[in-house]
Structure 1
């Protein structure tokens, strides 16, 4: 008897499924089709993005090749195209490299203006904007006063800033050039005492301190009894 009830139950379920399919089957197929289209569309978008990134990468490398060949004007034009039409991170790389190309071509004013534009550009990560400020200051260290340079990068000398060593070195060189040996010694002392300074940066700072000492004499010693 139980077998009969089971068969009847199965027949009823089968009939219910058939009615449900007759009623809603077309919608199920429609949803399935939409899923297939959505997945296919996403895969196409992924492929398109990858293709665009590859093409932009090729254009960027071609611009670098022009630069290595000394064709700076052509490299600048190629980088401008990548900055305008490229995808991914390449436009920002192109903008930054373009400033370097202007510097290499002897256009110091153009390079500084380009670095300043990067630093002021909306949406640029702080670490990149600060690096642009450092690059501009490097160009200007031979022509601007310590005060002018400090107004540009003075805040980057603070402990914890990733560009503090470069900022201190630039300002120290500017002070040394202006014959402000006390200020120069202060910047280079900060570099030497910073345990996170690289060996190369510390060695350059020690060299500058030796030059300062040869011109000015040793730094003042604390009075007896002072810490």
Structure 2
């Protein structure tokens, strides 16, 4: 306790002491009330809060377990695809197809889509167009597959069935993809142009071949074929004559100087 100022009277000293004691008592009472509130809160809400904490911990643990399983599944799928690709590159097509069978039949997600596309490619190389079209069709009709892979599958399915398809159906199926700027404009456009030609639509076929020939993002081999077809149909598809001659290894004739 602090010393009382020397000029305080006895009554003032007693009053100051009582105030200090009352303050200490109030502090003890306040602490006791706070402790009682915490005990009451714990009794009332402790179990529910503990249950929530346990549930949160279990949920987090379940999430980690799920992630681990997904990572493991991804690794297994990647290994399966790698083994299949190794077999395909080695020329063992049937071994590659067999390695993909379980993933294509029972897998899910992008791994299954890739397996189906690879199996379709193998069937095509083996000359089994019907099986190839069936496999590509599974991807083309899979709403969960990435759109760009569905487009690839649509083009490949039509290519496998082209000879037996109604050519108007070919145009309907691939016309949305046979437009400049589309990722597979060249491949889809060539099939649509050929379908137009077989229907007798020479103008549409020639115009589309010319667009393919002028598209800079189309492979050179396909552009060359399209340029030749456009020329046969009477459509000029050459944008830069000098560049074309250079690409074909032909030296352009140099005009003689004036006066000679």
1:178 offset after TM fit, Å?
A: 8.7
Asked whether the 8 Å contact 1:53–1:87 carries over to 2, the reply is no
Q: TM-score with structure 2 length normalisation?
A: 0.67
SS in 2 for 1:89: helix
Whether 2:217 is the aligned partner of 1:198: answer yes
Contact 1:150–1:171 (Cα < 8 Å) also in 2? yes
Per-residue CA deviations over 1:103-155 (Å, capped at 9, x if unaligned) read: 12222222123223322334444433222121233345577675453244234
1:14 to 27, 30, 35: 35
Deviations 1:161-184 (A, max 9, x none): 433332212333556789976444
Deviation for aligned residue 1:158: 4.0
1:72-83 paired onto structure 2 within 5 Å: 72-83=93-104
Equivalence for 1:222:
none
Alignment of 1:1-227 (within 5 A): 1=20, 2-140=23-161, 146-147=167-168, 149-158=170-179, 161-173=182-194, 182-192=203-213, 197-198=216-217, 200=219, 204-205=222-223, 208-210=226-228, 212-213=230-231, 215=232
Q: C-alpha distance in 2, partners of 1:218/1:130?
A: 29
**CA deviation vs aligned residue, 1:166-217 (integer Å, no higher than 9, x gap):** 22123335567899764442112223455xx41635x74355324653x466
SS at match of 2:83: helix
User: Which structure 2 residue ranges, 5 or more long, are not aligned?
Assistant: 1-19, 237-260
Q: TM-score, normalised by structure 1?
A: 0.76
CA distance in 2, matches of 1:141, 1:85: 30
SS at match of 2:227: helix
Question: What is the SS of the residue equivalent to 1:121?
Answer: coil
Max radius of gyration: which structure?
A: 2
- Structure 1 residues 36 and 126: CA distance shift in structure 2, 3 A: closer
Mapped partners of 1:168, 1:139: distance in 2: 16
Tell me the matched-pair count.
215
